[in-house]
Structure 1
Protein backbone atom coordinates (compact mmCIF):
# COMPACT_ATOMS: atom_id res chain seq x y z
CA UNK A 1 0.00 0.00 0.00
CA UNK A 2 1.43 3.35 -1.06
CA UNK A 3 0.47 6.61 0.57
CA UNK A 4 1.21 9.76 -1.38
CA UNK A 5 0.96 13.19 0.17
CA UNK A 6 0.73 16.18 -2.11
CA UNK A 7 1.44 19.62 -0.67
CA UNK A 8 -0.70 22.21 -2.37
CA UNK A 9 0.85 25.67 -2.79
CA UNK A 10 -0.79 28.48 -0.82
CA UNK A 11 -3.47 30.50 -2.58
CA UNK A 12 -3.75 33.24 0.05
CA UNK A 13 -0.98 35.05 1.97
CA UNK A 14 -0.13 33.96 5.46
CA UNK A 15 -1.10 36.82 7.87
CA UNK A 16 2.20 36.71 9.73
CA UNK A 17 4.08 36.84 6.46
CA UNK A 18 2.12 39.93 5.43
CA UNK A 19 3.30 41.70 8.59
CA UNK A 20 6.86 40.61 7.93
CA UNK A 21 6.57 41.87 4.34
CA UNK A 22 6.04 45.46 5.50
CA UNK A 23 8.91 45.14 8.06
CA UNK A 24 7.87 47.02 11.21
CA UNK A 25 11.52 47.29 12.24
CA UNK A 26 12.09 49.75 9.36
CA UNK A 27 9.31 52.13 10.38
CA UNK A 28 11.22 53.90 13.13
CA UNK A 29 13.45 56.24 11.03
CA UNK A 30 10.65 57.99 9.09
CA UNK A 31 8.39 58.08 12.17
CA UNK A 32 11.20 59.68 14.18
CA UNK A 33 12.05 62.12 11.39
CA UNK A 34 8.39 63.17 11.10
CA UNK A 35 8.30 63.77 14.86
CA UNK A 36 11.52 65.79 14.62
CA UNK A 37 9.93 67.92 11.91
CA UNK A 38 6.84 68.49 14.04
CA UNK A 39 8.99 69.53 17.00
CA UNK A 40 11.19 71.82 14.90
CA UNK A 41 8.20 73.73 13.49
CA UNK A 42 7.77 75.61 16.76
CA UNK A 43 3.99 75.16 16.66
CA UNK A 44 2.41 74.06 19.97
CA UNK A 45 1.99 70.29 19.85
CA UNK A 46 -0.70 70.17 22.52
CA UNK A 47 -3.49 71.11 20.13
CA UNK A 48 -2.10 69.26 17.13
CA UNK A 49 -1.41 65.74 18.38
CA UNK A 50 -4.01 64.28 16.03
CA UNK A 51 -2.18 65.58 12.96
CA UNK A 52 1.21 64.63 14.41
CA UNK A 53 0.16 61.05 15.17
CA UNK A 54 -1.60 60.64 11.82
CA UNK A 55 1.55 61.83 10.06
CA UNK A 56 3.72 59.43 12.04
CA UNK A 57 1.44 56.52 11.10
CA UNK A 58 1.54 57.63 7.47
CA UNK A 59 5.33 57.96 7.43
CA UNK A 60 5.98 54.63 9.14
CA UNK A 61 3.46 51.78 8.81
CA UNK A 62 1.83 53.05 5.62
CA UNK A 63 4.39 54.71 3.30
CA UNK A 64 7.47 52.94 4.66
CA UNK A 65 5.53 49.66 4.85
CA UNK A 66 4.43 50.14 1.25
CA UNK A 67 8.01 50.80 0.17
CA UNK A 68 9.14 47.57 1.86
CA UNK A 69 6.41 45.55 0.13
CA UNK A 70 7.32 47.10 -3.23
CA UNK A 71 11.01 46.44 -2.65
CA UNK A 72 10.43 42.79 -1.68
CA UNK A 73 8.28 42.25 -4.77
CA UNK A 74 10.86 43.80 -7.08
CA UNK A 75 13.69 41.99 -5.25
CA UNK A 76 12.10 38.56 -5.07
CA UNK A 77 14.79 37.00 -7.29
CA UNK A 78 17.63 38.56 -5.28
CA UNK A 79 15.98 37.50 -2.01
CA UNK A 80 15.77 33.92 -3.29
CA UNK A 81 19.59 33.97 -3.05
CA UNK A 82 20.14 36.20 0.01
CA UNK A 83 17.19 35.30 2.22
CA UNK A 84 15.03 32.50 0.75
CA UNK A 85 12.94 32.40 3.92
CA UNK A 86 11.47 35.84 3.21
CA UNK A 87 7.69 35.94 2.65
CA UNK A 88 7.67 36.04 -1.17
CA UNK A 89 10.47 33.58 -2.14
CA UNK A 90 9.34 31.17 0.59
CA UNK A 91 5.83 31.04 -0.91
CA UNK A 92 4.07 32.27 2.22
CA UNK A 93 2.95 35.22 0.11
CA UNK A 94 2.10 33.38 -3.12
CA UNK A 95 1.64 34.44 -6.71
CA UNK A 96 1.35 38.17 -7.28
CA UNK A 97 0.02 38.96 -3.81
CA UNK A 98 3.21 40.88 -2.95
CA UNK A 99 2.51 43.25 -5.84
CA UNK A 100 -1.18 43.58 -4.91
CA UNK A 101 -0.28 44.49 -1.32
CA UNK A 102 2.21 47.12 -2.47
CA UNK A 103 -0.34 48.68 -4.87
CA UNK A 104 -3.11 48.69 -2.26
CA UNK A 105 -0.80 50.39 0.25
CA UNK A 106 0.17 52.94 -2.40
CA UNK A 107 -3.49 53.92 -2.74
CA UNK A 108 -3.89 53.98 1.05
CA UNK A 109 -0.82 56.24 1.36
CA UNK A 110 -2.24 58.80 -1.03
CA UNK A 111 -5.63 58.80 0.70
CA UNK A 112 -4.18 59.28 4.19
CA UNK A 113 -1.77 61.90 2.82
CA UNK A 114 -4.73 63.89 1.53
CA UNK A 115 -6.04 64.12 5.11
CA UNK A 116 -2.92 66.10 6.06
CA UNK A 117 -3.69 68.98 3.71
CA UNK A 118 -1.95 70.17 0.57
CA UNK A 119 1.58 69.92 1.94
CA UNK A 120 0.99 66.48 3.39
CA UNK A 121 -0.56 65.15 0.19
CA UNK A 122 2.17 66.31 -2.18
CA UNK A 123 4.89 65.15 0.18
CA UNK A 124 3.20 61.74 0.18
CA UNK A 125 3.14 61.74 -3.61
CA UNK A 126 6.88 62.43 -3.59
CA UNK A 127 7.46 59.61 -1.11
CA UNK A 128 5.44 57.12 -3.15
CA UNK A 129 7.27 58.02 -6.36
CA UNK A 130 10.61 57.67 -4.59
CA UNK A 131 9.67 54.23 -3.22
CA UNK A 132 8.82 52.83 -6.63
CA UNK A 133 11.75 54.58 -8.35
CA UNK A 134 14.10 52.92 -5.88
CA UNK A 135 12.87 49.37 -6.47
CA UNK A 136 11.05 49.04 -9.78
CA UNK A 137 12.29 48.70 -13.32
CA UNK A 138 13.19 50.49 -15.47
CA UNK A 139 14.43 53.13 -13.02
CA UNK A 140 15.50 50.88 -10.11
CA UNK A 141 17.88 53.34 -8.47
CA UNK A 142 18.90 50.73 -5.92
CA UNK A 143 21.25 49.35 -8.58
CA UNK A 144 23.50 52.33 -7.85
CA UNK A 145 25.48 52.46 -4.63
CA UNK A 146 25.32 56.26 -4.78
CA UNK A 147 21.83 57.17 -6.01
CA UNK A 148 19.99 54.37 -4.20
CA UNK A 149 21.11 55.10 -0.63
CA UNK A 150 20.84 58.82 -1.34
CA UNK A 151 17.21 58.50 -2.37
CA UNK A 152 16.36 56.32 0.64
CA UNK A 153 18.14 58.71 3.02
CA UNK A 154 16.17 61.61 1.59
CA UNK A 155 12.89 59.66 1.80
CA UNK A 156 13.47 58.24 5.30
CA UNK A 157 14.89 61.33 7.02
CA UNK A 158 14.65 64.52 4.95
CA UNK A 159 11.17 64.24 3.45
CA UNK A 160 9.38 63.16 6.68
CA UNK A 161 11.15 65.95 8.63
CA UNK A 162 10.11 68.54 6.03
CA UNK A 163 6.57 67.15 5.98
CA UNK A 164 6.16 67.14 9.77
CA UNK A 165 7.07 70.83 9.87
CA UNK A 166 5.08 71.80 6.77
CA UNK A 167 1.87 70.08 7.93
CA UNK A 168 1.84 71.97 11.24
CA UNK A 169 2.87 75.27 9.68
CA UNK A 170 0.64 74.79 6.63
CA UNK A 171 3.43 76.53 4.76
CA UNK A 172 6.94 75.87 3.56
CA UNK A 173 9.28 75.46 6.55
CA UNK A 174 11.89 78.16 7.09
CA UNK A 175 15.45 77.89 5.79
CA UNK A 176 16.98 76.56 9.02
CA UNK A 177 14.57 73.60 9.17
CA UNK A 178 15.15 72.68 5.54
CA UNK A 179 18.93 72.90 5.93
CA UNK A 180 19.10 70.65 9.01
CA UNK A 181 16.65 68.15 7.46
CA UNK A 182 18.79 67.97 4.31
CA UNK A 183 22.00 67.48 6.29
CA UNK A 184 20.56 64.58 8.28
CA UNK A 185 19.16 63.12 5.05
CA UNK A 186 22.65 63.37 3.52
CA UNK A 187 24.12 61.60 6.53
CA UNK A 188 21.52 58.85 6.23
CA UNK A 189 23.21 57.84 2.95
CA UNK A 190 25.82 56.23 5.19
CA UNK A 191 23.19 54.36 7.20
CA UNK A 192 21.71 52.92 4.02
CA UNK A 193 25.14 51.89 2.75
CA UNK A 194 25.76 49.92 5.95
CA UNK A 195 22.33 48.33 5.51
CA UNK A 196 23.46 47.00 2.10
CA UNK A 197 26.04 44.76 3.79
CA UNK A 198 23.42 42.12 4.57
CA UNK A 199 22.65 41.60 0.86
CA UNK A 200 26.23 41.50 -0.36
CA UNK A 201 26.19 38.08 -2.06
CA UNK A 202 22.80 38.38 -3.76
CA UNK A 203 23.54 41.94 -4.92
CA UNK A 204 26.78 40.73 -6.48
CA UNK A 205 25.01 37.93 -8.37
CA UNK A 206 22.16 40.10 -9.64
CA UNK A 207 24.12 43.16 -10.71
CA UNK A 208 23.13 45.51 -7.88
CA UNK A 209 26.14 47.82 -7.65
CA UNK A 210 25.95 48.73 -3.98
CA UNK A 211 29.05 50.31 -2.47
CA UNK A 212 29.94 47.12 -0.51
CA UNK A 213 29.83 45.20 -3.82
CA UNK A 214 31.74 47.77 -5.89
CA UNK A 215 34.31 48.98 -3.35
CA UNK A 216 34.41 46.14 -0.82
CA UNK A 217 33.17 46.18 2.79
CA UNK A 218 36.21 47.99 4.25
CA UNK A 219 36.11 50.98 1.90
CA UNK A 220 32.29 51.12 1.92
CA UNK A 221 32.24 51.24 5.72
CA UNK A 222 34.72 54.12 5.77
CA UNK A 223 32.71 56.07 3.20
CA UNK A 224 29.45 55.44 5.10
CA UNK A 225 30.91 56.64 8.40
CA UNK A 226 32.56 59.65 6.76
CA UNK A 227 29.25 60.74 5.25
CA UNK A 228 27.43 60.33 8.58
CA UNK A 229 30.14 62.22 10.43
CA UNK A 230 30.36 65.04 7.88
CA UNK A 231 26.64 65.72 8.07
CA UNK A 232 26.72 66.12 11.84
CA UNK A 233 29.98 68.10 11.70
CA UNK A 234 28.09 70.67 9.61
CA UNK A 235 25.05 70.67 11.89
CA UNK A 236 27.17 71.57 14.93
CA UNK A 237 28.53 74.95 13.73
CA UNK A 238 25.16 75.89 12.24
CA UNK A 239 23.43 75.42 15.59
CA UNK A 240 26.18 77.43 17.29
CA UNK A 241 25.89 80.16 14.65
CA UNK A 242 22.14 80.32 15.20
CA UNK A 243 22.58 80.92 18.92
CA UNK A 244 22.10 77.36 20.22
CA UNK A 245 25.55 76.45 21.65
CA UNK A 246 24.25 73.93 24.20
CA UNK A 247 22.38 72.01 21.52
CA UNK A 248 25.51 72.13 19.35
CA UNK A 249 27.48 70.59 22.23
CA UNK A 250 24.83 67.88 22.53
CA UNK A 251 25.20 66.93 18.88
CA UNK A 252 29.00 67.02 19.27
CA UNK A 253 28.76 64.62 22.23
CA UNK A 254 26.74 62.03 20.30
CA UNK A 255 29.10 62.39 17.34
CA UNK A 256 32.11 61.63 19.55
CA UNK A 257 30.35 58.49 20.81
CA UNK A 258 29.65 57.47 17.22
CA UNK A 259 33.31 57.88 16.31
CA UNK A 260 34.17 55.45 19.11
CA UNK A 261 31.62 52.98 17.69
CA UNK A 262 33.03 53.48 14.18
CA UNK A 263 36.44 52.30 15.39
CA UNK A 264 34.81 49.03 16.43
CA UNK A 265 33.03 48.77 13.07
CA UNK A 266 36.25 49.20 11.10
CA UNK A 267 37.79 46.11 12.72
CA UNK A 268 35.21 43.86 11.00
CA UNK A 269 32.93 45.92 8.72
CA UNK A 270 30.84 43.04 7.40
CA UNK A 271 30.38 41.36 10.77
CA UNK A 272 29.90 44.53 12.81
CA UNK A 273 27.57 46.40 10.43
CA UNK A 274 24.38 45.09 12.16
CA UNK A 275 25.88 46.01 15.54
CA UNK A 276 26.65 49.54 14.36
CA UNK A 277 23.15 49.92 12.92
CA UNK A 278 21.86 49.27 16.43
CA UNK A 279 24.42 51.48 18.21
CA UNK A 280 25.73 54.29 16.06
CA UNK A 281 22.38 54.88 14.39
CA UNK A 282 20.66 55.34 17.76
CA UNK A 283 23.19 58.04 18.57
CA UNK A 284 22.65 59.60 15.14
CA UNK A 285 18.89 59.92 15.60
CA UNK A 286 19.42 61.26 19.13
CA UNK A 287 21.31 64.14 17.54
CA UNK A 288 18.37 64.67 15.20
CA UNK A 289 15.99 65.30 18.08
CA UNK A 290 18.48 67.58 19.84
CA UNK A 291 18.66 69.60 16.62
CA UNK A 292 14.87 69.65 16.34
CA UNK A 293 14.55 71.23 19.79
CA UNK A 294 17.23 73.76 18.85
CA UNK A 295 15.20 74.73 15.76
CA UNK A 296 12.04 74.92 17.86
CA UNK A 297 13.75 77.52 20.03
CA UNK A 298 14.38 79.66 16.93
CA UNK A 299 10.71 79.84 16.02
Structure 2
Protein backbone atom coordinates (compact mmCIF):
# COMPACT_ATOMS: atom_id res chain seq x y z
CA UNK A 1 0.00 0.00 0.00
CA UNK A 2 1.23 3.47 -0.86
CA UNK A 3 2.65 5.48 2.01
CA UNK A 4 1.20 8.91 2.71
CA UNK A 5 3.91 11.57 2.36
CA UNK A 6 5.09 13.07 5.64
CA UNK A 7 7.17 15.99 4.36
CA UNK A 8 4.71 18.51 5.80
CA UNK A 9 5.19 19.35 9.49
CA UNK A 10 2.64 17.61 11.69
CA UNK A 11 -0.26 19.64 13.07
CA UNK A 12 -2.78 18.72 15.72
CA UNK A 13 -5.77 20.08 13.81
CA UNK A 14 -6.51 21.34 10.28
CA UNK A 15 -6.77 24.98 9.30
CA UNK A 16 -10.14 26.35 8.10
CA UNK A 17 -8.64 26.58 4.61
CA UNK A 18 -7.80 22.87 4.70
CA UNK A 19 -11.38 22.01 5.70
CA UNK A 20 -12.76 24.06 2.80
CA UNK A 21 -10.35 22.36 0.41
CA UNK A 22 -11.47 18.95 1.70
CA UNK A 23 -15.10 19.84 0.92
CA UNK A 24 -14.11 20.94 -2.63
CA UNK A 25 -16.49 23.84 -3.42
CA UNK A 26 -15.90 23.38 -7.16
CA UNK A 27 -17.80 20.06 -6.98
CA UNK A 28 -20.91 21.57 -5.39
CA UNK A 29 -22.24 23.00 -8.63
CA UNK A 30 -23.83 19.87 -10.23
CA UNK A 31 -26.23 18.95 -7.39
CA UNK A 32 -27.03 22.61 -6.71
CA UNK A 33 -27.80 23.09 -10.39
CA UNK A 34 -29.92 19.93 -10.47
CA UNK A 35 -31.87 21.08 -7.40
CA UNK A 36 -32.51 24.44 -9.07
CA UNK A 37 -33.67 22.62 -12.22
CA UNK A 38 -36.12 20.57 -10.19
CA UNK A 39 -37.53 23.63 -8.43
CA UNK A 40 -37.97 25.42 -11.75
CA UNK A 41 -39.45 22.39 -13.53
CA UNK A 42 -42.11 22.01 -10.83
CA UNK A 43 -43.92 25.14 -11.98
CA UNK A 44 -44.56 26.08 -8.35
CA UNK A 45 -44.53 29.75 -7.40
CA UNK A 46 -41.13 30.92 -6.17
CA UNK A 47 -42.13 34.13 -4.40
CA UNK A 48 -43.05 32.58 -1.05
CA UNK A 49 -40.81 29.54 -1.48
CA UNK A 50 -37.45 31.21 -1.89
CA UNK A 51 -36.19 30.34 1.61
CA UNK A 52 -36.82 26.56 1.47
CA UNK A 53 -35.54 26.47 -2.11
CA UNK A 54 -32.37 28.33 -1.13
CA UNK A 55 -31.96 26.02 1.87
CA UNK A 56 -32.43 23.00 -0.37
CA UNK A 57 -29.72 24.26 -2.73
CA UNK A 58 -27.44 24.72 0.29
CA UNK A 59 -28.25 21.17 1.37
CA UNK A 60 -27.58 19.68 -2.07
CA UNK A 61 -24.28 21.50 -2.60
CA UNK A 62 -22.11 22.54 0.36
CA UNK A 63 -23.64 20.06 2.80
CA UNK A 64 -24.39 16.74 1.07
CA UNK A 65 -21.94 17.12 -1.79
CA UNK A 66 -19.31 18.52 0.56
CA UNK A 67 -19.88 15.51 2.82
CA UNK A 68 -19.43 13.13 -0.08
CA UNK A 69 -16.11 14.77 -0.96
CA UNK A 70 -14.83 14.46 2.61
CA UNK A 71 -15.90 10.81 2.79
CA UNK A 72 -14.30 10.06 -0.57
CA UNK A 73 -11.00 11.75 0.28
CA UNK A 74 -10.75 9.94 3.60
CA UNK A 75 -11.24 6.47 2.13
CA UNK A 76 -9.17 7.34 -0.96
CA UNK A 77 -6.24 8.83 0.91
CA UNK A 78 -3.81 6.09 -0.15
CA UNK A 79 -4.86 6.30 -3.81
CA UNK A 80 -4.54 10.09 -3.65
CA UNK A 81 -1.01 9.69 -2.28
CA UNK A 82 -0.17 8.31 -5.74
CA UNK A 83 -2.43 10.34 -8.01
CA UNK A 84 -2.66 13.71 -6.22
CA UNK A 85 -0.26 13.85 -3.25
CA UNK A 86 -0.93 17.57 -2.78
CA UNK A 87 -4.51 16.96 -1.62
CA UNK A 88 -5.17 17.95 1.97
CA UNK A 89 -5.09 14.49 3.55
CA UNK A 90 -2.04 12.90 1.86
CA UNK A 91 -0.12 16.19 2.09
CA UNK A 92 -0.60 16.31 5.86
CA UNK A 93 -2.66 19.50 5.97
CA UNK A 94 -5.59 17.42 7.28
CA UNK A 95 -3.76 15.47 10.03
CA UNK A 96 -4.63 12.33 11.92
CA UNK A 97 -8.30 11.28 11.92
CA UNK A 98 -9.59 14.76 11.13
CA UNK A 99 -10.70 13.83 7.62
CA UNK A 100 -13.04 11.19 9.02
CA UNK A 101 -14.21 13.56 11.78
CA UNK A 102 -15.14 16.23 9.25
CA UNK A 103 -17.05 13.66 7.16
CA UNK A 104 -19.06 12.54 10.21
CA UNK A 105 -19.77 16.10 11.38
CA UNK A 106 -20.90 17.15 7.90
CA UNK A 107 -23.18 14.11 7.71
CA UNK A 108 -24.88 15.11 10.97
CA UNK A 109 -25.22 18.74 9.89
CA UNK A 110 -26.69 17.68 6.54
CA UNK A 111 -29.39 15.60 8.18
CA UNK A 112 -30.21 18.35 10.67
CA UNK A 113 -30.79 20.85 7.84
CA UNK A 114 -32.72 18.26 5.81
CA UNK A 115 -35.01 17.76 8.78
CA UNK A 116 -35.98 21.43 8.63
CA UNK A 117 -37.26 20.94 5.07
CA UNK A 118 -39.78 18.24 5.91
CA UNK A 119 -39.96 14.43 5.87
CA UNK A 120 -39.77 14.05 2.07
CA UNK A 121 -36.53 16.01 1.80
CA UNK A 122 -35.17 14.31 4.92
CA UNK A 123 -35.70 10.84 3.43
CA UNK A 124 -34.19 11.90 0.11
CA UNK A 125 -31.18 13.38 1.90
CA UNK A 126 -30.79 10.20 3.97
CA UNK A 127 -30.77 8.17 0.74
CA UNK A 128 -28.19 10.51 -0.81
CA UNK A 129 -26.02 10.33 2.30
CA UNK A 130 -26.15 6.52 2.33
CA UNK A 131 -25.06 6.45 -1.31
CA UNK A 132 -22.23 8.89 -0.56
CA UNK A 133 -20.83 6.64 2.15
CA UNK A 134 -21.49 3.47 0.16
CA UNK A 135 -19.65 4.91 -2.83
CA UNK A 136 -16.38 5.35 -0.96
CA UNK A 137 -16.47 3.29 2.24
CA UNK A 138 -16.15 -0.47 2.71
CA UNK A 139 -17.81 -2.90 2.59
CA UNK A 140 -19.70 -1.58 -0.45
CA UNK A 141 -17.18 0.86 -1.95
CA UNK A 142 -19.15 1.20 -5.18
CA UNK A 143 -16.35 3.20 -6.77
CA UNK A 144 -14.26 0.03 -7.06
CA UNK A 145 -16.21 -0.60 -10.27
CA UNK A 146 -16.62 2.30 -12.68
CA UNK A 147 -19.91 1.04 -14.07
CA UNK A 148 -21.56 0.90 -10.64
CA UNK A 149 -19.81 3.80 -8.92
CA UNK A 150 -20.31 6.35 -11.68
CA UNK A 151 -23.96 5.37 -11.91
CA UNK A 152 -24.43 5.91 -8.18
CA UNK A 153 -22.84 9.37 -8.34
CA UNK A 154 -24.79 10.40 -11.43
CA UNK A 155 -28.11 9.49 -9.84
CA UNK A 156 -27.09 11.11 -6.53
CA UNK A 157 -25.80 14.35 -8.06
CA UNK A 158 -28.45 14.89 -10.73
CA UNK A 159 -31.58 12.74 -10.48
CA UNK A 160 -32.08 12.76 -6.71
CA UNK A 161 -31.71 16.56 -6.20
CA UNK A 162 -33.95 17.28 -9.21
CA UNK A 163 -36.80 15.02 -8.05
CA UNK A 164 -36.38 16.09 -4.41
CA UNK A 165 -36.68 19.78 -5.31
CA UNK A 166 -39.73 19.23 -7.50
CA UNK A 167 -41.40 17.12 -4.80
CA UNK A 168 -40.65 19.67 -2.08
CA UNK A 169 -41.98 22.53 -4.22
CA UNK A 170 -45.20 20.73 -5.16
CA UNK A 171 -45.82 18.89 -1.92
CA UNK A 172 -46.31 15.64 -3.87
CA UNK A 173 -44.56 13.55 -6.50
CA UNK A 174 -43.86 15.46 -9.74
CA UNK A 175 -45.31 14.39 -13.11
CA UNK A 176 -43.89 11.29 -14.78
CA UNK A 177 -42.23 13.35 -17.52
CA UNK A 178 -40.24 15.28 -14.91
CA UNK A 179 -39.10 12.07 -13.22
CA UNK A 180 -38.04 10.56 -16.55
CA UNK A 181 -36.08 13.64 -17.61
CA UNK A 182 -34.34 13.77 -14.24
CA UNK A 183 -33.52 10.06 -14.50
CA UNK A 184 -32.08 10.45 -17.99
CA UNK A 185 -29.84 13.36 -16.97
CA UNK A 186 -28.65 11.35 -13.96
CA UNK A 187 -27.81 8.39 -16.19
CA UNK A 188 -26.05 10.69 -18.65
CA UNK A 189 -23.89 12.00 -15.82
CA UNK A 190 -22.30 8.54 -15.76
CA UNK A 191 -20.31 9.74 -18.77
CA UNK A 192 -19.27 12.92 -16.96
CA UNK A 193 -17.91 10.86 -14.08
CA UNK A 194 -15.96 8.73 -16.53
CA UNK A 195 -14.24 11.88 -17.77
CA UNK A 196 -13.12 12.57 -14.22
CA UNK A 197 -11.51 9.13 -14.03
CA UNK A 198 -8.95 9.92 -16.73
CA UNK A 199 -6.80 11.96 -14.37
CA UNK A 200 -6.29 9.05 -11.96
CA UNK A 201 -5.64 6.09 -14.26
CA UNK A 202 -2.21 5.30 -12.80
CA UNK A 203 -3.24 5.31 -9.16
CA UNK A 204 -6.51 3.49 -9.85
CA UNK A 205 -4.64 0.75 -11.67
CA UNK A 206 -2.12 0.36 -8.85
CA UNK A 207 -4.79 0.32 -6.14
CA UNK A 208 -7.19 -1.99 -7.98
CA UNK A 209 -9.91 0.57 -8.69
CA UNK A 210 -11.67 -0.66 -11.81
CA UNK A 211 -12.61 2.67 -13.40
CA UNK A 212 -13.73 2.56 -17.02
CA UNK A 213 -10.38 3.86 -18.34
CA UNK A 214 -8.66 1.07 -16.37
CA UNK A 215 -11.19 -1.61 -17.39
CA UNK A 216 -11.49 -0.75 -21.07
CA UNK A 217 -8.57 1.54 -21.84
CA UNK A 218 -8.71 5.32 -22.42
CA UNK A 219 -9.98 5.17 -26.01
CA UNK A 220 -12.88 2.82 -25.36
CA UNK A 221 -13.77 4.57 -22.10
CA UNK A 222 -13.96 7.87 -23.98
CA UNK A 223 -16.32 6.34 -26.55
CA UNK A 224 -18.50 4.88 -23.80
CA UNK A 225 -18.69 8.25 -22.01
CA UNK A 226 -19.72 10.05 -25.20
CA UNK A 227 -22.33 7.45 -26.14
CA UNK A 228 -23.87 7.52 -22.66
CA UNK A 229 -24.10 11.32 -22.59
CA UNK A 230 -25.46 11.54 -26.15
CA UNK A 231 -28.07 8.78 -25.96
CA UNK A 232 -29.58 9.98 -22.70
CA UNK A 233 -29.95 13.49 -24.09
CA UNK A 234 -31.57 12.06 -27.22
CA UNK A 235 -34.05 10.44 -24.84
CA UNK A 236 -34.76 13.85 -23.26
CA UNK A 237 -35.29 15.39 -26.70
CA UNK A 238 -37.78 12.68 -27.65
CA UNK A 239 -39.69 13.06 -24.37
CA UNK A 240 -39.94 16.83 -24.74
CA UNK A 241 -41.01 16.54 -28.37
CA UNK A 242 -43.63 13.94 -27.46
CA UNK A 243 -45.09 16.38 -24.93
CA UNK A 244 -45.26 19.11 -27.56
CA UNK A 245 -42.43 21.09 -25.93
CA UNK A 246 -40.78 21.85 -29.24
CA UNK A 247 -38.75 24.85 -28.09
CA UNK A 248 -37.19 22.90 -25.24
CA UNK A 249 -36.51 19.94 -27.55
CA UNK A 250 -34.84 22.26 -30.08
CA UNK A 251 -32.62 23.86 -27.43
CA UNK A 252 -31.48 20.51 -26.04
CA UNK A 253 -30.81 19.38 -29.62
CA UNK A 254 -28.65 22.46 -30.20
CA UNK A 255 -26.51 21.87 -27.11
CA UNK A 256 -26.17 18.19 -28.05
CA UNK A 257 -24.89 19.13 -31.52
CA UNK A 258 -22.35 21.47 -29.96
CA UNK A 259 -21.30 18.71 -27.57
CA UNK A 260 -20.88 16.42 -30.54
CA UNK A 261 -18.35 18.80 -32.06
CA UNK A 262 -16.45 18.84 -28.76
CA UNK A 263 -16.64 15.05 -28.56
CA UNK A 264 -14.88 14.70 -31.91
CA UNK A 265 -11.89 16.59 -30.55
CA UNK A 266 -11.97 14.72 -27.25
CA UNK A 267 -12.03 11.30 -28.94
CA UNK A 268 -8.86 12.07 -30.89
CA UNK A 269 -6.87 12.42 -27.63
CA UNK A 270 -8.93 11.18 -24.64
CA UNK A 271 -6.22 11.46 -21.98
CA UNK A 272 -5.00 14.83 -23.19
CA UNK A 273 -8.43 16.38 -23.75
CA UNK A 274 -10.49 14.93 -20.87
CA UNK A 275 -10.10 18.05 -18.73
CA UNK A 276 -10.79 20.29 -21.74
CA UNK A 277 -13.96 18.38 -22.60
CA UNK A 278 -15.07 18.46 -18.96
CA UNK A 279 -14.96 22.27 -19.13
CA UNK A 280 -16.75 22.77 -22.44
CA UNK A 281 -18.85 19.65 -23.00
CA UNK A 282 -20.15 19.41 -19.44
CA UNK A 283 -21.04 23.11 -19.48
CA UNK A 284 -23.20 22.46 -22.52
CA UNK A 285 -24.71 19.37 -20.88
CA UNK A 286 -25.93 21.29 -17.83
CA UNK A 287 -27.19 24.12 -20.06
CA UNK A 288 -29.42 21.55 -21.73
CA UNK A 289 -30.64 20.49 -18.29
CA UNK A 290 -31.84 24.01 -17.56
CA UNK A 291 -33.45 24.33 -20.99
CA UNK A 292 -35.37 21.12 -20.31
CA UNK A 293 -36.37 22.33 -16.83
CA UNK A 294 -37.73 25.60 -18.21
CA UNK A 295 -39.69 23.71 -20.87
CA UNK A 296 -41.18 21.46 -18.20
CA UNK A 297 -42.07 24.52 -16.13
CA UNK A 298 -44.00 26.04 -19.02
CA UNK A 299 -45.81 22.72 -19.45
CA UNK A 300 -46.65 22.57 -15.73
CA UNK A 301 -47.93 26.15 -15.69
CA UNK A 302 -50.09 25.47 -18.75
CA UNK A 303 -51.55 22.38 -17.09
CA UNK A 304 -52.31 24.38 -13.91
CA UNK A 305 -54.06 27.04 -15.96
CA UNK A 306 -56.20 24.47 -17.76
CA UNK A 307 -56.93 22.77 -14.45
TM-score range, shorter chain: over 0.9
The Cα shift of 1:173 comes to 1.4
TM-score normalised by length of structure 2: 0.94
Residue 140 of structure 1 aligns with which residue? 141
The Cα shift of 1:137 comes to 0.5
4+ residue stretches of structure 1 with deviation over 6 A? none
In the alignment of these two chains, the number of paired residues is 294
CA distances 1:206-244 after superposition (whole Å, capped 9, x unpaired): 000000011111100000010000000011111011011
Residue 175 of structure 1 aligns with which residue? 176
SS at match of 1:281: helix
Residue 292 of structure 2 aligns with which residue? 291
How is 1:104-123 mapped onto 2 (pairs within 5 angstroms)? 104-123=105-124
How is 1:29-178 mapped onto 2 (pairs within 5 angstroms)? 29-178=30-179
Q: CA RMSD in A?
A: 1.1
Partners in 2 of 1:201 and 1:72 — Cα distance? 17
The Cα shift of 1:106 comes to 0.3
Partners in 2 of 1:155 and 1:162 — Cα distance? 11
Alignment partner of 1:262 is 2:263 = yes
User: Unaligned stretches of 5+ in structure 1?
Assistant: 1-6
SS at match of 2:66: helix
Residue 244 of structure 1 aligns with which residue? 245
CA 1:82/1:8 → structure 2, altered by over 3 Å: closer, same or farther? closer
SS at match of 1:89: helix
CA distances 1:138-177 after superposition (whole Å, capped 9, x unpaired): 1000000100000000000000001110111111111111
CA distances 1:66-119 after superposition (whole Å, capped 9, x unpaired): 000000000000000011110001110000000000000000010111111111
Contact 2:147 2:211 in 1 (8 A): yes
SS at match of 1:223: helix
User: Unaligned stretches of 5+ in structure 2?
Assistant: 1-7, 301-307
Partners in 2 of 1:30 and 1:37 — Cα distance? 10
Residue 4 of structure 1 aligns with which residue? none
The Cα shift of 1:14 comes to 2.1
TM-score normalised by length of structure 1: 0.97
The Cα shift of 1:8 comes to 5.2
Alignment partner of 1:200 is 2:201 = yes
